[in-house]
Structure 1
Amino acid sequence: MTSIDIGPNTTGLPGIAVLEDIVGALLTFGLIAAVAGIALSSIAWAVGSHSSNPHVAGRGKSGVLVSSGAAMLVGAASTLVTFFSHAGAGVR
């Protein structure tokens, strides 16, 4: 039985460098949005806590956690994709 072994090709199509720049800019945008989410959620958490409004405080806490998780995923995106790509390439 013949084995087919095809890997990623970074020179196969024109514009791959531009696409890498676009993805890098999207990662930067995602991190900036996560920082804004943490800041706004922290403000909501503080306002809810000081005004004895548990609903707003709870939403602020959730926002901080979600924004922190988003920042972690955006920061680890390349590593995650590389890990799963290598894991998938090792399947025989």
Structure 2
Amino acid sequence: MKSIVRAAIVATALVVPVASFAQSQITRAQVRAELAELQSVGYHVGDGDQAHYPEAIQAAEAKLAARDGATDYGGTANGTSQSGGVRVSPSDWNAMYSR
């Protein structure tokens, strides 16, 4: 029984680093490009205002999203949608659910 527990612990110890390594990684160039975009809407890197850092970066990201026409959930949707389900005629309804 102890060997099964040990094997499970060893397997877990080996899987955790592999799973964390598999996360998406961005390059230095991508980070620099993001910073350049943020600076283009008025964000200043390293201005010394540590007290308002979260608000400043969020405001700059909101300006970028508004400028690019993006939303928090992706781009704009080009299409229409209809709420509700498909209307079923009374005769079809009775044919399906009346017995």
What TM-score, normalized to structure 1? 0.31
What TM-score, normalized to structure 2? 0.30
Higher normalized helix content (fraction of residues): 1
Give the number of the structure with larger relative contact order, counting CA–CA contacts within 8 Å between residues 6 or more apart.
1
